[in-house]
Structure 1
Amino acid sequence: MKSSYVKLIASLILFGSNGIIAAHITLPSDAIVLLRTLIGSALMVCVLIAARRLPACLPKGADLLHLAASGAAMGASWIFLYEAYRLVGVGISSLAYYCAPIMVMILSPFLFKERLTFSNVVGFCTVLVGAVLVNAQTLDGGGSAWGMFCGWMSAIMHAAMVIFSKKADRVDGVASSALQLVTSFFLVLLFMAWKGDLGFRIAPDEWGWILTLGLINTGLGCYLYFSSFGGVSAQTVAVLGYLEPLSAVILAAALLHESLAPIQVVGGALILGGALFSESFARARLKSRPSITRAAPALRKPPRQG
């Protein structure tokens, strides 16, 4: 479980740096998504080939369908998100996008039979308020109906990605990441071919940023993210998911010298506090439960008499 928490948090920090790297790339948003999924999926496939795990590691049956659906949802989510960035701005798009964890948390009792506890709800509401405050400075108030539709669709697709991935959480992390990224790549490729946007050019000085985004932030990041699902609940993924926008703001302040307003500092504190509150109570409940070992003597049959 500790390993899963470390993987999840590390992946969210990597994802939070996506905007920092993308700021150095002048390509259209769909081209950036295409390249990051291509490079990331190529890395995962090469790892599987080097380990001689193909095709034995590939999932079958329901797991295969769930991971393919998750990958398609991931690609669609990124396409809608970057389109929303262009039309309504980063702030409004982010607030719509990060409603996805709310959807996951609401559906988790029905889809995964996870109990929705008081500490989960309180911690999640605190985190949500913090996310709104963190992004409040970037709201520009403008935009279009299509831009808002794209923002909400990015959230719906992101929630679908998490749900389908969670349903296949028994699959090895490298194999699941490879399949999801490959599926996502082909979806974006078909979308760009339909739009006729495949004739883009890459400046020589942008290759370093593109490779970093594809190999580390996408390939490694997706492996850490999806491989953590087997050890954490869907509600934990929802709550800790807000560390991504928090890390984005902190990294922007540290690396791009963007100033942090007091309201953003308060929002960051609420995100961390809400996440820690929710998870600390979850761990306390686990520790308070009697173990099978301690309960075993009570389950033994009494010795025969005579």
Structure 2
Amino acid sequence: MEKPAIHPYIPIIIGVFSVALSAIFVKMTSADSGVTAFYRMLFSIVIMSPLFLWRYTHEIKKLSKRDWYFTAIAGIFLAFHFILWFESLNYTSVASSTVLVTLQPLFAFAGTYFFFKERISIKTLIAGGVTIFGSILIGYGDFKISGNALFGDLLALIACALITVYLLFGQDVRKRLSLITYTFIVYSVSTITLFFYIIAKGESFGPYPASEWMWFLLLAIIPNLLGHTLFNWSLKWVSTNVISIAILFEPVGAAILAFFILGELLSPSQIIGGTIVISGILFFITDYSKIKTFIFKKRG
């Protein structure tokens, strides 16, 4: 496998800052969750289409049945990740939702262990336990606020599991397929899935005011084409676990943005729980064996 032009961790860091804006943009829209997700994905593939049609259509012939199968599954799970996560933001705060939806390592550890036979150390399990405890504190605070907030937390956790499945299937395909082709197909499958979801739910495709279309477009450009595409690029050289861990720093940026832009205040349980979640991630990072396993190196 060829060596990338830049270290994979650099795009991952940029991607984390990009996706941190996603919850803010979603909060600013008034459209249904499925509609918001649909236009996010539709605008993404429209923007990508000229480049894909110009230089990458020949790769379609190289896809095996396994590649088509895995890519389609990834696209479907990505669609429902967006639906559930966007819906969770209607019930709970940006801070709670982003913390819980980014608990991907808990699912990534299991997925990479069973599907890719990647080892999980005792220290990693301890870090996972600390992270779970932090998420319980966040949920406890929301339970005291209202049952709706706790329901939003549950939706965010399910969305977290779905995005991990999406990354796991992508980790396999991206080793054989270019970034543009893989991303274009995944986003197309996701868009089609969301289209039929909207029809089944009876939601409206429009019309919407100009401000709504602006938020849809920003969701496509920044979190999707910049954030998620950079994650997909990195999957060729790093494990899903690395990206899942990096994304756990998203809540910090999202909570700060929500405070200044949306005026959302953090409750004591959210602050304590979020701090414990981040502490669990830092504890994982200090596991030297994991660093040796996942740190970038040329594979050949």
**What's the TM-score once normalised by structure 2's chain length?**
0.79
Residue 63 of structure 2 corresponds to residue 60 of structure 1 = yes
1:89 to 87, 92, 97: 92
Q: What residue number does 2:79 align with?
A: 75
2:26 to 22, 25, 31: 22
Q: What residue number does 1:226 align with?
A: 232
Consecutive aligned runs of 4 or more in structure 1 exceeding 6 Å deviation: 144-149
C-alpha offsets along residues 141-196 of structure 1, whole Å, 9 cap, x if unaligned? 31499978755643442232122112213122222221111110000001112223
Question: Equivalent residues in 2 for 1:10-159 (5 A)?
Answer: 10-50=14-54, 52-56=55-59, 60-61=63-64, 62-86=66-90, 88-90=91-93, 97-98=101-102, 100-132=104-136, 138-139=142-143, 140-143=145-148, 153-159=158-164
Letter in 1 for 2:166: M
Residue 189 of structure 2 corresponds to residue 186 of structure 1 = no
C-alpha offsets along residues 74-97 of structure 1, whole Å, 9 cap, x if unaligned? 0012223333444x5357766764
Change in 2 beyond 3 A, CA 1:33/1:242: same
User: CA–CA distance in 1 between the matches of 2:147 and 2:259?
Assistant: 24
User: CA–CA distance in 2 between the matches of 1:104 and 1:150?
Assistant: 18
Aligned to 1:114, the other structure's residue is in SS state coil
C-alpha offsets along residues 85-142 of structure 1, whole Å, 9 cap, x if unaligned? 44x5357766764455322212321211111013322333344444555676555331
Q: What residue number does 1:279 align with?
A: 285
**Unaligned stretches of 5+ residues in structure 2:** none
Question: Equivalent residues in 2 for 1:167-206 (5 A)?
Answer: 167-170=172-175, 171-206=177-212
Change in 2 beyond 3 A, CA 1:284/1:109: closer
Aligned to 1:231, the other structure's residue is in SS state coil
- Are the counterparts in 2 of residues 120 and 235 from structure 1 also a CA contact under 8 Å? no
Give % identity.
20
- Are the counterparts in 1 of residues 20 and 253 from structure 2 also a CA contact under 8 Å? yes
Q: CA RMSD in A?
A: 3.4
Segment drifting more, 33-42 vs 61-70: 61-70
Aligned to 1:26, the other structure's residue is in SS state coil
**Unaligned stretches of 5+ residues in structure 1:** 292-306
Change in 2 beyond 3 A, CA 1:131/1:41: farther
Change in 2 beyond 3 A, CA 1:136/1:47: farther
Kindly tell me the number of residue pairs found equivalent between the two proteins: 286
Letter in 2 for 1:253: F
Aligned to 1:201, the other structure's residue is in SS state coil
Segment drifting more, 181-190 vs 138-147: 138-147
Change in 2 beyond 3 A, CA 1:176/1:29: same
- Are the counterparts in 2 of residues 4 and 230 from structure 1 also a CA contact under 8 Å? no
Segment drifting more, 273-282 vs 114-123: 273-282
Q: Which has the larger radius of gyration?
A: 1
User: CA–CA distance in 1 between the matches of 2:83 and 2:291?
Assistant: 40
Q: What residue number does 1:249 align with?
A: 255
- Are the counterparts in 2 of residues 34 and 188 from structure 1 also a CA contact under 8 Å? yes
User: CA–CA distance in 2 between the matches of 1:146 and 1:197?
Assistant: 21
C-alpha offsets along residues 213-261 of structure 1, whole Å, 9 cap, x if unaligned? 1122222222111111122223323333322233221221243343345
Report how far residue 48 of structure 1 moved: 2.3
Residue 213 of structure 2 corresponds to residue 210 of structure 1 = no
User: CA–CA distance in 2 between the matches of 1:199 and 1:279?
Assistant: 44
Change in 2 beyond 3 A, CA 1:6/1:48: same
User: CA–CA distance in 1 between the matches of 2:139 and 2:151?
Assistant: 21
C-alpha offsets along residues 195-223 of structure 1, whole Å, 9 cap, x if unaligned? 23244221023332221111222222221
Letter in 2 for 1:37: M
